Amino acid sequence: MKKYYSEIVNYLNKYNIDVVSDIPKNKAIYGIGSISGSDVNLITFYSNSEYNNLIKITKAYGCLIKDIDKHILPKNCFPIIVKDPYLVYAYLSNFFYPTDISKNSINKYSSIDKTFIKGNNIEIKNFVTIKNNVKIADKCIIGENCVIGPNVIIGKNTHILPNTTISNSIIGETCLIQSGAVIGDRGFGFTSNEKIEIRHIGNVILGDNVQIGSNTTIDRATLDSTIIEDNVRIDNLVQIAHNVLIGSNTIIAAQCGIAGSAKIGKNCKIGGQVGITGHIKIGDNVLIAAKSGVTKNISANSTIAGFPAIDIKLWKKNIIKKYRNLK
């Protein structure tokens, strides 16, 4: 998408981001590319010394870069001086490649219950099924083959990608739910001996600006609610069981499993393939290394690793000791 350099600067200034460069204001820029894949029509970014050799030979017209690093750029590449190149790259990725905008249409091949309450300027694509007691707010997009309902409320500006199933849920505003996710279906619960199923009659609540990855499942609560608070990011292939609470701004990488009634605090970062047992509490600002198994309560501001997960410094000492013993 063609943008003039002056437009780029004005866009970043709206977010109080200062930019310094000798690029002419009327220079046309056609997007952002990788260091090795860019050409004279694109800009790139540099934020990692692992790419020192590549940045020296990049063909990009300009590069988002810190002032301290600009000397490594080739002469053909204009430095675009910013404090945080990666952050600015994130902003510009949205500027050059914005999300879809609703076309204000309902496809004739979709099946829609008569109880449906529709907001303004929504788009419902091919073969969507909307069941009873569904309310979708303004400017939402529902992708092909989605099944929505029963008992679903979706906030405005939310985008649901194809082949997603949502039931018994309240979805906040400006959320992104990627393909294949299942939200609000019944969970995994039964008595241990007789295997009598425990009915799940609660719901799922997603806050605002939440993103759910492909093929992630979030089970409805047995009673009350499974809650994902504002600004949470959940990667692909994550299982979140009934009555879990995930605090705001927490990030969960792929293939994690979180058992029922676990409570995870705000601003946590959970690496890939972490397992978290049920009915425990993890405090705010906790970092959990990939492939850890969390079996007990974790205090706020901790960094843990291993199975069972322990303080990461102790875990590293144990690994070193084990390695030395092998010698």
Task: pLDDT band for 323, please (50, 70, 90 cuts).
Answer: confident
CATH topology of domain 164-327: UDP N-Acetylglucosamine Acyltransferase; domain 1 (2.160.10)
Task: pLDDT band for 193, please (50, 70, 90 cuts).
Answer: confident
Contact 231, 214 (CB under 8 A): no
As beta bridge partners, residue 240 has 218, 258
Q: How far is CA 179 from the centre of its chain?
A: 13
Q: What is the pLDDT of residue 52?
A: 95
What are the Cα distances from residue 166, in Å, to 133, 177, 226, 254, 274?
12, 10, 14, 20, 25
**Domains of the chain: which residue ranges?**
3-96, 164-327
Question: pLDDT tens, 229-287?
Answer: 999 999 999 999 999 999 999 999 999 999 999 999 999 999 999 999 999 999 999 99
The pair of three-digit structure tokens given for residue 139, joined into one six-digit string: 């400017």
Q: What is the pLDDT of residue 327?
A: 60
Contact 262, 277 (CB under 8 A): yes
Q: What is the pLDDT of residue 322?
A: 77
H or E element in which residue 270 lies: strand 269-270
Residue 282: CB atoms within 10 Å: 27
- Edge to edge, what strands does the sheet with 43-45 contain? 43-45, 62-65, 78-81
Task: pLDDT band for 179, please (50, 70, 90 cuts).
Answer: very high
Cβ contacts of 27 within 8 Å, gap of 6 or more: 4, 5, 61
Mean pLDDT of 144-158: 97
Mean pLDDT of 50-54: 95
Separation CA 24–CA 40 (nearest Å): 14
The pair of three-digit structure tokens given for residue 195, joined into one six-digit string: 């295997």
Task: pLDDT band for 190, please (50, 70, 90 cuts).
Answer: confident
Mean pLDDT of 294-322: 92
Catalytic residues: 242
Mean pLDDT of 43-59: 96
Separation CA 323–CA 34 (nearest Å): 39
Among the four given CATH numbers 3.40.50.970, 3.40.1390.10, 3.40.140.10, 3.30.70.100, the one describing domain 3-96: 3.40.1390.10
For the chain, give the percent of residues with pLDDT over 70. Answer: 99
Mean pLDDT of 7-35: 97
Q: How far is CA 155 from the centre of its chain?
A: 17
Q: What pTM was estimated for this model as a whole?
A: 0.90
